[in-house]
């Protein structure tokens, strides 16, 4: 009986010591985990605060750019819609408007009508360039509505549009003849003084039409 009691006492003491050590280790582990979690949450909070400040700064920087981009897109769509509407309203030019130019002075009315049917309508807005000096342009332009300015850019002039035009062209006037016939680069620039509707005649179409004409039909 004595040995049994001693054995049970030793077992209970061992269990108590083991339980105490286990509880102590669990308490230490819980404390360590709480410290780790607290530090992690604190670092995450600091990161979120910094990210929020960076996001606000980025938004402050990007919002005006985004709004300006939307405004430009809206203006571009409105301009394209206006151009499409204007082009759809344009009708082929009267052949008599071509007869005032030396190119077509002696053409028959039949061939003038055929040439007018091959001309393509195009619209430009105020401040836009139609022809740039030094560029290769193979079209002859007839002004249907509006006005254009002819500028001769000087060497070293970096302005987007020269201040003083050398010539102002109005309705029923032509421009682009030299490049159209000779195929050489343009020696002057042409800018829109106001919203302008043009009729353009391609160089290839013009010469192909001339080749198709028979002898005696070209002259009235």
Report the distance separating Cα 123 and Cα 86, nearest Å: 7
Helices 203-212, 109-118: axis angle to 10 degrees equals 150
Higher-scoring residue by pLDDT: 40, 12: 40
Name the pLDDT band for 219 (thresholds 50, 70, 90): very low
Burial degree of 213 (CB within 10 A; 0-12, 13-18, 19+): middle
Name the pLDDT band for 198 (thresholds 50, 70, 90): very high
Over residues 201-213, the pLDDT tens digits come to 888 888 887 777 7
Over residues 103-140, the pLDDT tens digits come to 887 788 888 888 888 888 888 888 888 888 888 888 89
The kind and range of the H/E element at 196 are strand 196-202
Residue range 95-212 in CATH 2.60.120.10: yes
Using DSSP's 3-state secondary structure scheme, residue 161 falls into: coil
Domain ranges of the chain: 1-89, 95-212
Q: What percent of the chain has pLDDT over 90?
A: 4
Sheet-wide strand order for 148-151? 129-131, 189-192, 148-151, 167-169
Is 0.85 surpassed by the pTM of this model?
no
């Amino acid at each position: 009986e004595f040995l049994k009691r001693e054995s049970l006492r030793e077992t209970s003491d061992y269990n108590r010591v083991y339980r105490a050590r286990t509880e102590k280790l669990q308490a230490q582990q819980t404390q360590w985990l709480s410290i780790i979690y607290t530090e992690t949450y604190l670092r995450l909070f600091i990161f979120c605060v910094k990210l929020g400040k960076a996001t606000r700064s980025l938004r402050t920087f990007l919002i005006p750019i985004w709004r300006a981009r939307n405004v430009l897109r809206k203006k571009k769509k409105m301009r394209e819609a206006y151009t499409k509407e204007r082009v759809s309203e344009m009708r082929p030019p009267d052949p008599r408007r071509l007869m005032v130019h030396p190119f077509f002075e002696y053409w028959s009315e039949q061939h003038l009508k055929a040439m007018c049917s091959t001309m393509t309508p195009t619209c430009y807005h105020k401040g836009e360039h139609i022809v740039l000096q030094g560029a290769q342009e193979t079209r002859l332009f007839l002004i249907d509505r509006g006005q254009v300015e002819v500028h001769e850019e000087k060497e070293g002039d970096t302005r987007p549009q020269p201040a003083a035009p050398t010539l102002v062209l109005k309705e029923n006037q032509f421009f682009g003849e030299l490049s159209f016939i000779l195929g050489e680069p343009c020696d002057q620039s042409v800018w829109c003084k106001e919203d302008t509707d043009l009729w353009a005649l391609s160089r290839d179409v013009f010469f192909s039409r001339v080749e198709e004409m028979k002898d005696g039909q070209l002259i009235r």
